[in-house]
Structure 1
Amino acid sequence: MERARMFMKVVSLLCLVVLSNAIESPKYEVVHSESDFDVRLYTESTWMSAPVRELSFEKATLFGFHRLFQFIQGANLNYSRIPMTSPVVTSIVPGAGPLHSSAYVVRFYLPVKFQADPPTPLPELHLKPYVWDSHCVAVRKFSGFAKDENIVREAEKLAISLRRSPWANGTSSDSDYAYSIAQYSSPFQFIGRVNEIWVDIDASGIDACKPGNIAAY
């Protein structure tokens, strides 16, 4: 019963993840576009990360975001209230399990105001800042809800598309994550939902993927 109440509480908190002009997002530019995926160059940015040990992607996202939500509501040494940003990103750490993983990292993009000096989370939240170096990411959009039963399928579709593209040998072997799921929509939004599969690209020798002037989207 207590677990069910926690589940519903975190679902309610996730309703705050709604796209609007007031919500900040990480900056990028599109450097390559195909019919079913893009390659984006993201600028360096700082995120707050919540590691989670779970077999279920859905549960990992809920439990990780619950800790992140406490952080942005003031559970930090500065008692700072931090505005909501989007997307909420869940990265899958390679491993064993039904989803090829038993470990995840749920990430919250810090607003520009806090990028250089993030507030220190309370120790019991087990959060830590993560600096995301500027690099290229292959991105596939998909609609509906991101669930345990469809995220692997969507990641496989992106992998097939990449193998058929000029980026066939571009998947980064140095990445800490198999792939990531970016969620932009509230759980109670049923139409026009936006999700993305992200895969890091190793394109250090490609000029398009070198840091430059990156516009905000």
Structure 2
Amino acid sequence: MVWAPLGMLLVAFAMAAEATVGPCDDTTHGTETKECLHFTTICSGEEYEVRSYDNTKWISAVEESYFMDMAITRAFWKLFKYIQGNNAAGLKIDMTSPVVIKTKDTTSMWTSSKYKVSFLLPSAFQDGAQEPPAPKDGSVFFEETPAMKLYVRSYGGWLMGLTSRTNARDLRMALQKAGASFVKGSHYDVGYDSPMKMTERHNEAWYAVEGDHVCPK
């Protein structure tokens, strides 16, 4: 099976997290799934934190719409159908967290934009010992991200178009103020909670580190 790189998110680096995917705990932010994406916090402050991640495998789908929420919903259900058994083996696969959405920085309600939604594959498929079943939907595909560093801003509430743009903008401004270099043009909206969770929700905005990371002051 061939794994493609996950867009401009990827910045290789020497440090790696202890595990790619594993049980959720207080540090991984997931509360509704068995497994979460693990990371190592390099440094943190009031406006953002810097994290390192190991290489990770995902399943993704891309949808285009004038409205972020509509595109995300369509892509999400394609991926959800895959883990519910719409795959070559008819295998049901556990949901994981977070869900990651690649979003252009310049989206607006006046122009159509593409959004890539990615589900984290469970640990059973991460080390290469077991291959995930092929999707039946031809628009659903596998990807792999190598080890990377990310600038991260956390926030609560619901991940929607306005909150996405606002928090990505606030993270950009904080990074520019700190003199940090990051990959521009798109960011990653990250959600950890199902729609059924009403309180204490956790979301994030991610930008990939470019060059040496800069810790918040």
Q: TM-score, structure 2 length as denominator?
A: 0.76
Rounded Cα–Cα distance in structure 2 between residues aligned with 1:81 and 1:33: 37
Greater shift in the superposed pair: 37-46 or 99-108: 99-108
Rounded Cα–Cα distance in structure 1 between residues aligned with 2:154 and 2:94: 25
Q: Is the 8 A contact 1:94 1:101 kept in 2?
A: no
2:75 — aligned with what?
Answer: 64
Judging changes above 3 Å, is the alpha-carbon distance between structure 1 residues 21 and 51 closer, same or farther for their aligned structure 2 residues? Answer: closer
1:132 — aligned with what?
Answer: 145
Rounded Cα–Cα distance in structure 2 between residues aligned with 1:80 and 1:156: 40
Rounded Cα–Cα distance in structure 1 between residues aligned with 2:172 and 2:95: 31
2:118 — aligned with what?
Answer: 107
The alpha-carbon deviation at position 92 of structure 1 amounts to 0.9
Rounded Cα–Cα distance in structure 2 between residues aligned with 1:54 and 1:160: 27
| Between structures 1 and 2, the one with greater helix share | 1
Judging changes above 3 Å, is the alpha-carbon distance between structure 1 residues 25 and 99 closer, same or farther for their aligned structure 2 residues? Answer: farther
1:53 matched to 2:53? The reply is no
Q: Deviations over 1:144-164 (max 9, x none)?
A: 111112211111100111112
Q: Which amino acid aligns with 2:121?
A: L
2:203 — aligned with what?
Answer: 195
Q: Indicate the percent of aligned positions where both proteins have the same amino acid.
A: 26
Tell me how many residue pairs correspond in the alignment: 183
Extract structure 1 runs of 4+ deviating beyond 6 A.
none
The alpha-carbon deviation at position 189 of structure 1 amounts to 2.1
1:159 matched to 2:172? The reply is yes
Q: TM-score, structure 1 length as denominator?
A: 0.76
Judging changes above 3 Å, is the alpha-carbon distance between structure 1 residues 96 and 113 closer, same or farther for their aligned structure 2 residues? Answer: same
Structure 1: runs of 5+ lacking an equivalent? 1-17, 209-217
Structure 2: runs of 5+ lacking an equivalent? 1-28
Rounded Cα–Cα distance in structure 2 between residues aligned with 1:94 and 1:41: 23
1:78 — aligned with what?
Answer: 89
2:183 — aligned with what?
Answer: 172
Rounded Cα–Cα distance in structure 2 between residues aligned with 1:22 and 1:54: 29
